[in-house]
Amino acid sequence: MSATAPRPAVVTDFSLVTGLSQTKKPLQRRISAMAGMYADQEAARRLAEEDVLVYEFFDMGVPQSSGEVAYGTSITYPGKVGDEYFMTKGHFHSVLDTAEIYYCLRGRGLMMMENPEGDVQWEEFTPGQGVYVPGRYAHRSINTSPDEPLITFFAFPGHAGHDYGTIESKGFRKIVVERDGAPAVVDNPKWAQ
């Protein structure tokens, strides 16, 4: 197809209640696919037996080139592994210096971010608030609500790519746990330098 050939616009429905689409299928991540990422391995093993759904998100199949915008919704379900809140795997972008915007549609939570130099940041997700993740920062969504899904809409450059392996092997420096009934950001005991 030539660069000047007509291309159809794309329209997709995303529910503000569920985050899901009636016309597209999300990718699902169950606890068994990420049990090793949680601090409480015994609790993770128990939940893996039921293979609880932790989060789902959309890959709309946008071409992976720099002029494109990849996008979709991400739904992280409420729950905890031990006292650690359900979260996404989290990733760097393969093209490290590419940013991403997440706009919170529903729920409560945090976006955890860190760069390779060790700067750590986190920002609150609340409906109506967008969190702009700067280039070079790994990012992970964490649902701190006891009963509501955390639903965000995200968009990032089409050529960014995903590096999940670095976080899978090292973890994030900080995790989010429930302490006295409220979320607390603490050092990750499993973090590997």
Secondary structure of 57-77 in HEC code, one letter for each residue: ECCCCCCCCCCCEEEEEEEEC
Q: How far is the CB of 138 from Fe ion (least distance, A)?
A: 8
Give the whole-angstrom CA distance, residue 64 versus residue 158. 5
Residue 114 binds Fe ion, judged by CB under 5 A:
no
Number of chain residues interacting with Fe ion (CB under 5 A): 1
Smaller CB separation from Fe ion, 77 or 164: 164
**Of 84 and 100, which CB lies nearer to Fe ion in the complex structure?**
100
Tokens (6 digits) for 48: 């893996």
Residue with tokens 């973090």: 191
CB of 163 closer than 8 Å to CB of 97? no
Hey, which residues between 82 and 111 contact Fe ion (CB under 5 A)?
100
Q: What is the DSSP string of 18-37?
A: T---SSSPPEEEEGGGTGGG
User: Would you say 100 or 114 has its CB closer to Fe ion?
Assistant: 100
Taking the least distance from each CB to Fe ion, the nearer of 56 and 100 is: 100
Residue 5 CB, nearest approach to Fe ion (Å)? 30
Closest approach, Cβ 42 to Fe ion, in A, equals 30
CA nearest to 20, candidates 161, 158, 149, 156: 149
**Residue 50 CA neighbour count, 13 Å, CB half:** 8
Positions in 158-177 near Fe ion (CB under 5 A) = none
Instruction: Provide, rounded to whole angstroms, the least separation between the CB of residue 161 and Fe ion.
Output: 9
CB of 60 to Fe ion, least distance (A): 14
CA distance 97 to 135: 4
Looking at the Cβ atoms of 71 and 86, the one nearer to Fe ion is 71
Contact positions vs Fe ion (CB under 5 A): 100
